[in-house]
Amino acid sequence: MSNNERVRDLYLKALEKSLSKVDVNSVTYLSMKYARFLAFKCNDVPRACDIMERAANIIKNSKVLYFSQLNLLKHLEGIGYLPSTPKAAGSRVISTYEKAIFSSDLQP
């Protein structure tokens, strides 16, 4: 098992444990770190986006999580890892904004 595979396993186990406890701070921190690791170290952009999406579906009241998800999407789009057409990444960024505004438990 390579180092990257071992790190993936450790992140996933820690994130799963935090998600099962619905621990807002841990899920926010771990999903951010795990997604960035997947995207930039493992070149697994789809999985990185899925990790952030899954965390946001469970933790609906963390501004830091939503901002981190948006930051990751915009960064991936900016460096060309995600298409920057309005139908592709643009819609993903916009849908994340809409979710944060209309479907989350965030307080204004």
Structural domain harbouring 92 = 3-103
- Per the domain annotation, does 72 fall within a domain? yes
**pLDDT at residue number 84:** 56
- Per the domain annotation, does 108 fall within a domain? no
- Per the domain annotation, does 75 fall within a domain? yes
Distance CA 19, CA 8 (A): 16
- Per the domain annotation, does 68 fall within a domain? yes
Give the global pTM: 0.81
The pLDDT tens digits for 33-90 are 999 999 999 999 999 999 999 999 998 888 889 889 989 998 888 787 776 555 554 5
Distance CA 82, CA 106 (A): 27
- Per the domain annotation, does 89 fall within a domain? yes
**pLDDT at residue number 79:** 80
Question: Which secondary structure element, helix H or strand E, spans residue 84, and what is its range?
Answer: none
Domain count, the chain: 1
- Per the domain annotation, does 64 fall within a domain? yes
**pLDDT at residue number 37:** 96
Q: Which residue has the higher pLDDT, 31 or 96?
A: 31
